Amino acid sequence: MDISVFLKLANTPWKMRLFLLQRLPGAWFMGINIRKCDLEQAVVSLPYRWRSQNPFRSTYFAAQCAAAELSTGMLAMAHLQGKPPVSMLVTGFEAEFFKKADQLLLFTCTDGNAMAQAIAQTLETGEGQVFHATSVGRLPDGTVAAQAKITWSFKRKKG
C-alpha cells in the first residue's frame, strides 16, 4: 500500500475503528482512537469510560499501555508502507505513571523520523534494528499523566 493511501486510511475515523475491531478488538472495546497520524507523529486518544476504568476510578494501566503502543506502532506501519517486507515486534515495554488518569488521555509519539531511519537501516543492511520509541500520555490540560518507552525490533523478512 502506498504511504499516502495508508495515512488517509489512518486519519479516517470510521475506517480505523473498523480496523481496530478486526485486528485489535481490545483497543476497540476500550474506545481507543487514532486522532492523527503522519510520518512524524501519531496521536491516539483513550477515553475515560467504564470500559477502560479500573476499580480505583482511574484509567486502567493496561489501557494506557495499549494506547501508548498503538501510537508508536502506527508510525512504524506508516514507514513500512510500500517497502520490502519487514517484521516488527515489541521486545520491551517500560511505563511510568505520574498523575491519576480520570479524564481523556492523548498519547503522542513524535519519533517518526528516527524510526524511519532505523527501518531504512534494516532494509539497507539486512540486519535487525532495535528502536526505542517514546509515547507521552497527556490529560486535556496538557499535564503529563504517563510515559511509555516501547522497544521495537525491525527485521527484514527473507524471501
Tell me the domain boundaries of the chain.
3-156
Superfamily of domain covering 3-156: Hotdog Thioesterase (3.10.129.10)
| pLDDT number for residue 59 | 96
Distance CA 122, CA 152 (A): 12
pLDDT tens profile 95-138: 999 999 999 999 999 999 999 999 999 999 999 999 999 999 99
Q: What is the mean pLDDT of the chain?
A: 96
| pLDDT number for residue 88 | 96
Distance CA 25, CA 117 (A): 31
Distance CA 2, CA 145 (A): 35
Checking if the pLDDT of 33 tops 90, the result is yes
Checking if the pLDDT of 159 tops 70, the result is no
Give the phi and the psi of residue 132 in degrees, each rounded to 5: -105, 110
**pTM across the whole model:** 0.95
> What pLDDT band is residue 158 in, cutting at 50, 70 and 90?
confident
| Residue carrying C-alpha cell 492523527 | 36
